[in-house]
């Protein structure tokens, strides 16, 4: 699981939330109220919900039973105090949105309303290209599947300057629609072209066929006393099983 912090979301982990906080801090309403970017933080910001402390939920102590987590009745899961609903940012189309409203949107929806925020657009587009356009920005990081977590890590890695690294992915295609597999392969190629090595454990045939090297660690390889390594024409060596 990614995002050990209980306030970690898709937006915070993918380095989108910080850019959005800065954008809203530049609005006339925020300046008039004296709000800086830090005020929009879930962790310590002045605009976080005081009832749930920016977690979006509260824990109920039930006698003789495990505690029950429910949506915060004060912020209704938005994590923000009511004052945050008075700070608006105007989009390219003239629409006015608050940060809580924006965080409630999916990646694909946010792409349309954040035009002009270059860094945000790049990250959102990468998440979209990885087949994660359906995730809402305020989705808890801890609630993501293994495949979703790996693909968000890929999106974050593409925005860094790190090279000469080895990325080991365990079935990143899990939960991914088959039509988005080609997008995932393109992102893996981008990491490779940047000077990194990508090792993928996969059963998806399309991803296997795209590999430069294929290592079979199945039962057949074990009986022969070692791994079977194919190099070069991988596509011609992939069988139905």
- pLDDT per residue of the chain (241 residues) written in tens, 0 to 9: 566 677 889 999 888 999 999 999 999 999 999 999 999 998 888 999 999 999 888 888 777 778 788 899 999 999 999 999 999 998 777 789 999 999 999 999 999 899 889 889 988 998 988 888 999 999 988 888 888 888 888 887 776 667 898 989 888 888 777 778 888 898 889 889 889 999 999 888 899 889 988 887 766 555 554 455 555 555 455 544 4
User: Rounded to an integer, what distance in angstroms lies between the CA atom of residue 144 and that of residue 195?
Assistant: 28
Q: How high is the pLDDT of residue 116?
A: 86
Among 45, 55, 46, 48, residue whose Cα is nearest residue 5: 55
Q: How high is the pLDDT of residue 25?
A: 95
User: Rounded to an integer, what distance in angstroms lies between the CA atom of residue 153 and that of residue 114?
Assistant: 22
User: Rounded to an integer, what distance in angstroms lies between the CA atom of residue 86 and that of residue 101?
Assistant: 11
Q: How high is the pLDDT of residue 235?
A: 47
CB 14 within 8 A of CB 152: yes
- For 50-72, the three-class secondary structure string (H helix, E strand, C coil) is CCCCCCCEEEECCCCCCCEEEEC
Q: How high is the pLDDT of residue 221?
A: 52
Q: How high is the pLDDT of residue 218?
A: 61
Site of tokens 């392969």: 185
Secondary structure class of 205 (helix, strand, coil): helix
pTM recorded for the entire structure: 0.74
Secondary structure class of 40 (helix, strand, coil): helix
Q: How high is the pLDDT of residue 241?
A: 41
């Amino acid at each position: 699981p990614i995002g050990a912090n209980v306030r970690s979301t898709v937006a915070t982990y993918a380095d989108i939330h910080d850019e959005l906080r800065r954008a809203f801090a530049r609005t006339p309403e925020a300046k008039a109220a004296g709000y800086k970017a830090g005020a929009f933080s879930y962790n310590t910001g002045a605009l976080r919900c005081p009832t749930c402390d920016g977690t979006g939920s509260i824990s109920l102590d039930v006698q003789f039973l495990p505690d029950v987590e429910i949506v915060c009745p004060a912020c209704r899961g938005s994590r923000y105090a009511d004052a945050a609903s008075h700070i608006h940012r105007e989009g390219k189309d003239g629409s006015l949105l608050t940060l809580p409203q924006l965080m409630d949107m999916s990646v694909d929806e946010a792409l349309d309303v954040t035009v002009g925020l270059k860094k945000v657009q790049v990250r959102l587009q990468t998440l979209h290209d990885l087949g994660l356009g359906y995730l809402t920005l305020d989705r808890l990081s801890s609630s993501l599947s293994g495949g979703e977590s790996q693909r968000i890590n890929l999106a974050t890695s593409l925005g860094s300057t790190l090279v000469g690294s080895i990325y080991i992915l365990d079935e990143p295609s899990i939960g991914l629609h088959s039509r988005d597999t080609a997008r995932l392969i393109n992102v893996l190629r981008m990491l490779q072209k940047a000077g990194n090595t990508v090792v993928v454990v996969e059963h998806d045939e399309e991803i296997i066929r795209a590999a430069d090297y294929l290592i079979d660690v199945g039962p057949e390889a074990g009986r022969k006393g070692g791994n079977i390594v194919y190099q070069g024409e991988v596509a011609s060596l992939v069988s139905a099983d």
